[in-house]
Amino acid sequence: MTTRPFRVLIGKPGLDGHDRGAKFVSRALRDAGFEVVYTGIRRTPEEIAAAAVQEDVDAVGLSLLSGAHNELFPAVIAALEKAGGGDIPVFGGGVIPAEDIPGLKRAGIRSVFTPGTPVKDIIASVTALCQAQAAKV
């Protein structure tokens, strides 16, 4: 069992500039002992994927409030595969209708957090993703 801090990238793909959720989750993970690489708003899937690989993160978290999650979340997974980071688990959050979640999970998004999710649930879920990823190294 590792005792090192887990590294997580938090990014916002697409065009919406509402970063309150991304920053909230970043701070919550920081306070839970994670090293959070924050990449800011309006990133392309390719930018997020390249940063995730260079930073050797244990997981990637995406935040999106524009409604384009069905396109952009899977696009990040595809970009990660192309960049050599296809094994890095991806989770997401934002204003995501319940009926979209099964499709996102099928596309490879490991966890989806919608408004109102207790922060301790997010931390527990991301911790589990990181632990599984770290065990592979």
Q: Which of 46, 67, 81, 128 binds other proteins (CB under 8 A)?
A: 46
- Any contact of residue 37 with other proteins (CB under 8 A)? yes
Closest distance of CB 124 from other proteins, Å: 15
- Residue 123 three-state SS: helix
List the structure tokens of 15: 């065009």
Q: Which amino acid is at 79?
A: A
* CA distances to 14, 49, 60, 114 from 86, in Å: 20, 9, 11, 24
The count of chain residues that interact with other proteins, using the rule CB under 8 A, is: 32
The neighbour count for residue 46, using CB atoms within 10 Å, is 16
Question: Is the distance from CB of 24 to CB of 52 less than 8 angstroms?
Answer: no
Q: Per CB under 8 A, which region of 31-39, 64-72, 99-107, 110-118 contacts other proteins?
A: 31-39
- Any contact of residue 54 with other proteins (CB under 8 A)? yes
Q: Which residues bind other proteins (CB under 8 A)?
A: 2, 4-5, 7, 26-27, 29-40, 43-44, 46-47, 50-51, 53-56, 83-85, 137
